[in-house]
Chains A and B, each alone.
Chain A
Amino acid sequence: MKNIYYLLREEYYGQRKKAIVLGAVIFGIFFLSRFVQEFVGRFGGVGQFDYQESIGGYLYVAGFIFTSMCLARSMHTRLGQHNWLMMPVFAHEKLIAKIIAYSLIYPVGLILFTFLSSALTEGFMALFWHHAVPLFRPFDRSVLLMGAHYFVLSSLFLMGAAYFKSAHFIKTVLSLLAFAVSLGLVAGLLVRFVYRDYYTSMVAGTFHINGEDILLQYCRFPWLSRWGEPLGKFLYWGVLSPFFWAVTYFRIKEAEAKDAV
């Protein structure tokens, strides 16, 4: 535990400048958008600003980029990796520190920061324009769900950070796309097989995309209609992130110095 704390402290001091810049950008965008909106609103009606909808981009895009880059300098640069490899801590402690920093502290910090930014911005708007919109609600179900999705999906980008030696974010996204296409092809073949009674040729005639009906009416495996969704949810919420963390762990553990000569 002590080592994880030391690693987190190192991470904090290493990343705080980036965090301050991101915070300033988010606050600046909120403030400017709201100010302009209120100003324009003096001359006619404009759409309502909703803080709940604004967090997704910062959470997912910025968070995944940060996560993808989290091992770039330490594990993948010739000079940086010396300190990384010689750090007297276990590989799993390094991994846990990264998970805590990028999958837990980042989303929680961002959500709290968004709330504070909204409070400051709307406080100013109320004073200056005598008008404010509802603040960001950090405990709203949609926000909590977004945070939970981020927690799961960030494990993929953490694996990309460990696995790819450069262009970590782009390569992870492209790999995911390639995987999605492959999965789509496999799923297409499976559908062709599972609903084979429905197909009269290579292309199904009047195939209505109505999940419940299709599953119940045509499926040769009725257990799928009952267990498919819970199974999918279990795989997504329970298996996906531990699997990718495990792959990341082995990648971190097997990392070697490069260009030793």
Chain B
Amino acid sequence: MITLDNLTFRYGKKPLFDKLRLNLEEGNIYGLLGMNGAGKTTLLKVISGQLYRREGDADVLGFDPGRRHPDMLREIFYLPEEFALPRITVELYLKLYSPFYPRFSREEFEGYCATFQLDLTQKLSEYSFGQKKKFLLAFGLASQTRLLILDEPTNGLDIPSKSQFRKTVASAMTPERSFLISTHQVRDMENLIDPLVILHQGKVILNSSLEGVSRKIRMEKTLAEPAPGSGILYTEKVPGGYYAIGKTSSPEEESALDLEVLFNGVVSDPAGIGGLFKEDRA
């Protein structure tokens, strides 16, 4: 669905991505994680054609994103972290923008809006930030595009809305549809995103399903700090003890994954822990 090969992108002379490689398959809810300034939003913008790569190849839904072909854009709905909505009614918004998405379903839209408890008689400008976000998400889901790009979708949502968001996205999944969700709020996305993509220092250092991660590493929570040299690759102090990441002794060994600890571990040791997933990245 998305293939980036040796992609280079820079702001001015400062390179952000250097020969970045990424392959995303259809029918998944990808979680894109990375530290501040890692280039998550930039990557999403390159994928959606809003920014041009400087070198390398890119294929998004069979199109070169840099050409911004309408057939590609018709299959992508991108919910940015910050956005502007016109000061018009919901009805007029639908009238003006839904025709650009040929599979837009009014019925589905109303269903999602009911789930999000949005009053469709209100003007868009009267909505709060969170309501606007939910409105756009409902519009994007009802557009039935093949790819939904969500940049920090839970920012600005209240606690019940975050739960609604997870349920709605999970229920909207089909084998033809994919989500690419960039987030800092790993906890908000637990039990939703799978596979994980971790972007660090201009490279993808992890691109693997959670099952694939579990096969290679194990996580355990202990009261005492694990002794060095006990096969532990990373340790993190958490309330009530320590989280430790180690290699699995067999692929059948299973342990619960904490995405935040996993992210911290992979980013702190991209060559070591990240290196375990080298063959999964392409």
Binding site for B on A (CB under 8 A): 2-3, 6, 9-10, 13-14, 77-80, 82-83, 85-91, 256-257, 260-261
Q: Chain B residues near A9 (CB, 8 Å)?
A: 95-96
> With A and B bound together, what is the CA distance between A89 and B99 in angstroms?
11
* Partner among B42, B68, B83, B96 whose Cβ is within 8 Å of the Cβ of A82: B83
| Chain B residue at smallest Cβ distance from A74 | B84
Q: Chain B residues near A6 (CB, 8 Å)?
A: 96, 99-100
Q: Chain B residues near A256 (CB, 8 Å)?
A: 50-52
State whether B70 touches A89 (Cβ < 8 A): yes
State whether A261 touches B41 (Cβ < 8 A): yes
State whether A88 touches B41 (Cβ < 8 A): no
Q: Chain A residues near B49 (CB, 8 Å)?
A: 85
> With A and B bound together, what is the CA distance between A77 and B70 in angstroms?
22
Q: Chain B residues near A2 (CB, 8 Å)?
A: 99
Given contacts A13-B96, A79-B84, contact A86 B48 (CB under 8 A): yes
A250 to B: closest C-beta gap in Å? 14
Q: Chain A residues near B41 (CB, 8 Å)?
A: 260-261
State whether A86 touches B76 (Cβ < 8 A): yes
B259 to A: closest C-beta gap in Å? 23
Binding site for A on B (CB under 8 A): 11, 37, 39, 41-42, 45, 48-52, 68, 70-71, 73-74, 76, 78, 80, 82-84, 86, 88, 92, 95-97, 99-101
Q: Chain A residues near B11 (CB, 8 Å)?
A: 261
| Chain B residue at smallest Cβ distance from A83 | B84
Q: Chain A residues near B88 (CB, 8 Å)?
A: 13
B72 to A: closest C-beta gap in Å? 8
| Number of residue pairs spanning A and B whose beta carbons lie under 8 angstroms apart | 65
Residue pairs across A and B with Cβ atoms less than 8 A apart, 6 shown, are A3-B100, A13-B88, A89-B100, A256-B51, A257-B50, A261-B42
State whether B73 touches A88 (Cβ < 8 A): yes
> With A and B bound together, what is the CA distance between A257 and B71 in angstroms?
20
* Partner among B50, B95, B99, B101 whose Cβ is within 8 Å of the Cβ of A260: B50
State whether A13 touches B92 (Cβ < 8 A): yes
B57 to A: closest C-beta gap in Å? 19
State whether B96 touches A260 (Cβ < 8 A): no
> With A and B bound together, what is the CA distance between A14 and B85 in angstroms?
12
> With A and B bound together, what is the CA distance between A79 and B45 in angstroms?
13
Q: Chain A residues near B84 (CB, 8 Å)?
A: 77, 79-80, 82-83
Given contacts A6-B96, A87-B100, contact A82 B78 (CB under 8 A): yes
Complex A-B, nearest 5 residue pairs according to Cβ-Cβ distance, in ascending order: A88-B73, A79-B84, A257-B50, A88-B74, A88-B70
Q: Chain B residues near A3 (CB, 8 Å)?
A: 70, 100
Q: A2-B99, A87-B100 are in contact. List 15 more A-B contacts (CB 8 A).
A: A6-B100, A9-B96, A13-B96, A78-B82, A79-B84, A82-B78, A82-B84, A83-B83, A83-B84, A88-B70, A88-B71, A88-B74, A90-B70, A91-B68, A261-B37
> With A and B bound together, what is the CA distance between A85 and B44 in angstroms?
13
B31 to A: closest C-beta gap in Å? 20
State whether A88 touches B96 (Cβ < 8 A): no
Q: Chain A residues near B95 (CB, 8 Å)?
A: 9
| Chain A residue at smallest Cβ distance from B80 | A82
B129 to A: closest C-beta gap in Å? 12
Most chain-B Cβ atoms within 10 A of its Cβ — which of A3, A88, A256?
A: A88
State whether B42 touches A260 (Cβ < 8 A): yes
> With A and B bound together, what is the CA distance between A87 and B72 in angstroms?
10
> With A and B bound together, what is the CA distance between A209 and B172 in angstroms?
77
State whether B50 touches A82 (Cβ < 8 A): yes
